[in-house]
Structure 1
Amino acid sequence: MKIFLVPQASMNPSLPDSMIKDIDKMKGDAIGDTLYSERWVLKTLMKLSKEYSNYCNPDDYHLETSLEEDLSVLWDMTIEPAVAEFLMENNVVELITDVITVSCSPRMNEIMVGILGNLACQEQVRQKIGENEDLIKIIINQLTSSDSPTLIQVMRLINTCIWNLSDKNSKQSNSSDPDKEENESCWISTLKTEKELLQQITCFILASSRNEELLKSTLSLIDSLFNVTDSKDDFFCKTFSTETFVQALVEAVKEMTKGAEDGNKSMYNKEMLKHGLAHWISLLHRLTSHNIGVCALGM
């Protein structure tokens, strides 16, 4: 929601003085041109910083209701660029890093990664994440979670950060920004280092998950990985060119299309199926682009 102030002289009748004062007061505490309160956001961040250590015990990790509600509202707010900028000014990435490093609460981690995913829609945030190898490793390690909502947000976050990246070697001849190039290579080099973890987890999800949104998110992430390196390298495509991955793709498409012929899918699920199948077809096409993939397909 935004405030649009009209000069008092142009209004008929003019605004009462009390209303003008109220608007000025709201605007004074507002973040940018939104009606979101700076004070409320800072209060929520302080509350999080004080209480997140309470969720380090794997036997007692249920998120307290009021904290969950406040963090959920904050998550929704972060789609606003002005809010994202304000949070960055208040070191929210560092706080989120501290939280997800120690938290045993799936809901806490889902919200934290979700907030980071919204923030990563802003280029300056993606750059900040790309400069932090430790944070990248922490994000990738969240793929070991057994919580589907958290995994969906992790897939989304990684996808947001890498979808438009190219390998350092493919950018070298065209890039005029060495720092940006280095940031991109940090993501790619870390993902390459964690290739076995990526392959193991994504194959397991595709082969066994019954969560259609998670299946679609996983296919989307792998599709981005296949396109993150140049055709000379094709690192991730070759890494995933295994019979295990192909079989996982088969199981995933079976699950996604279940009930489609009977018309038992909602409009939302039909759209999800459409996007999921688009990624699925793209992956199969990429596998046929080199001999290792062709062999994995049994062609």
Structure 2
Amino acid sequence: MDRNPSPPPDREGEQDGEKVDAIGDTVYSKHWLFSTLTRLIQIVSEQNTGDSDGQMQLPEEDEDELCKIWDMAMDKDVAGFLQEFKAADILLGVIAKSRCPRLTEICVGILGNIACFPDTCLTLSQNNDLGLLLTCVSQSDVSSLWLERVRQQTSVCSSLCFIMCSSTNMDLLVKVGELVDKLFDLDEELMKTWVTAGSQPSDEDKEEGERRLDVASSLLEAAKQLRSESPEGLEVYLHALQLLTTIHHGIQTLAVAGGTGQALWTFLCEVVCEDLCQPDDPPLVLQEQKSLLVHALAVLSVLYACQDQEAEHSKADTLLPLVGSMLRVLQYHREYQVSSGHKEKKDGQEKEEEEEKVDEQLQALIQTTAEFLSDIITDLTKVTLLLELSIKKQSLFPTMLLPSLNQNKLI
């Protein structure tokens, strides 16, 4: 023989094929992954073509194969590959259509693992999938599964905070805000964990010398972005911030001197005093702005109560513009009531129920405004004369405030 023999053709092909078929630097097979995802689509299709509307069982063999993907998705290369080839769309579609609790749980787990890495989480969030995620969290039959996965994956909090702090995509910020607001509304313990996470760096953060992003400051940063662009998005973030003030951990975080609470106070004062209920607005504007006002004033009242009275925002010259805005809210409410009294009542039970719901929200705003205003007036002894003249000449205060003012000898 004048040359070495050629290597076995089938072995050479296998080696090249294995290299091409591998996902990144892993030994996981792209072909097997595609085949399993195809089987996943077939499973949910078979479920929905059946006559039964009840829960379905997942075959053991299929469960084992899908659980392998669940484990594989913890690898960064696999998570990136799954996201690159739109596996998230498949998983979310299956979750929306599945009638098998175990199948739903596995898909939630895979999706949760994909979202563990900042790059894939950001990519996943920058499209309509986030809206479907929010829909799944909102569904009572699967929300507990989603919440459990979110609790287990501590990186979800930092990933969402990163988006809120760094993104300029208004649609993305609104969707992320809706998701965070929904999670807080559903799970108070999760909210407590996320609130305290910013002051407790993870091991990875310690190694990299970085501090985890704070939820409250992230919500504030996103709210600033949405202030002039999306009133609806701003309302979502203000509601999430209001939820933070319903727990002790949230109040403690906001009460830290020089922290997020001070910046939040300044921002909300600007929103209330500069954006809402301006002097040249008609009284009807109160109906349009009541949601923003009730959230903003509720947070401001908590901040005022928990902050040091010597703080900058407790000084009279800082509070007077806010007092003026709250007086205007009460004035507009009175004028709106007078003008509404001359209108015919809506016909039909459905419209009456809608009107009653609107009145409840407006009543909550007036109650919040009155109580907050009463607290401020109690402390503003230096401007007693100014307030007395304003009250007597304009009659802006509702009857509910008079006992408090008399008790504190302000009038």
Task: Assess same fold via TM > 0.5.
Answer: yes
Alignment of 1:190-229 (within 5 A): 190-191=178-179, 195=181, 197-203=182-188, 206=189, 219-221=192-194, 225-229=215-219
Counterpart for residue 137 of structure 1: 134
User: Aligned partners of 2:37 and 2:100: how far apart in 1?
Assistant: 17
Post-superposition CA distance 1:236-295 (Å, at most 9, x none) = 3322323xx45xxxxxxxxxxxxxxxxxxxxxxxxxxxxxxxxx6xx4522535551686
For residue 138 of structure 1, report the CA deviation from its aligned partner: 2.3
The one of 53, 63, 66 equivalent to 2:61 is 66
Higher RCO by CA contacts (8 Å cutoff, separation 6 or greater): 1
Tell whether the 8 Å contact from 1:31 to 1:86 is kept in structure 2 after alignment.
yes
Which AA in structure 2 matches 1:137?
L
Tell whether the 8 Å contact from 2:184 to 2:191 is kept in structure 1 after alignment.
no
Q: State the aligned residue count.
A: 219
Counterpart for residue 292 of structure 1: 302
Counterpart for residue 162 of structure 2: 164
Question: Which structure 2 residue ranges, 5 or more long, are not aligned?
Answer: 1-6, 197-213, 225-236, 262-300, 307-411
User: Aligned partners of 2:158 and 2:99: how far apart in 1?
Assistant: 24
For residue 33 of structure 1, report the CA deviation from its aligned partner: 2.2
Alpha-carbon RMSD across the aligned residues, in angstroms, is 3.7
Alignment of 1:1-299 (within 5 A): 22-55=14-47, 59-120=54-115, 121-132=117-128, 133-142=130-139, 144-145=140-141, 148-155=144-151, 156=153, 159=157, 161-166=159-164, 178=168, 181-182=169-170, 184-191=172-179, 195=181, 197-203=182-188, 206=189, 219-221=192-194, 225-230=215-220, 235=238, 236-242=240-246, 245-246=247-248, 283=250, 285-288=252-255, 291-292=301-302
TM-score, normalised relative to structure 1: 0.58
Would the alpha carbon gap of residues 293 and 104 (structure 1) be closer, same or farther in structure 2, given more than 3 Å must change? farther
Post-superposition CA distance 1:104-159 (Å, at most 9, x none) = 333222221222222221515523423225324224325x3467554211454853
Counterpart for residue 7 of structure 1: none
User: Aligned partners of 1:228 and 1:139: how far apart in 2?
Assistant: 24
Post-superposition CA distance 1:173-215 (Å, at most 9, x none) = xx7xx4xx335413344247xx4x5444213xx4xxxxxxxxx
User: Aligned partners of 1:165 and 1:185: how far apart in 2?
Assistant: 7
Identity %: 24
TM-score, normalised relative to structure 2: 0.44
Question: Which structure 1 residue ranges, 5 or more long, are not aligned?
Answer: 1-15, 207-216, 247-279
User: Aligned partners of 1:189 and 1:287: how far apart in 2?
Assistant: 19
User: Aligned partners of 1:46 and 1:166: how far apart in 2?
Assistant: 35
User: Aligned partners of 2:187 and 2:136: how far apart in 1?
Assistant: 15
Computing the radius of gyration from Cα coordinates, the structure with the larger value is: 2
User: Aligned partners of 2:176 and 2:252: how far apart in 1?
Assistant: 22
Post-superposition CA distance 1:35-94 (Å, at most 9, x none) = 111111011010001112445666323322112111110111122233233323432121
Would the alpha carbon gap of residues 89 and 162 (structure 1) be closer, same or farther in structure 2, given more than 3 Å must change? closer
User: Aligned partners of 2:158 and 2:90: how far apart in 1?
Assistant: 20
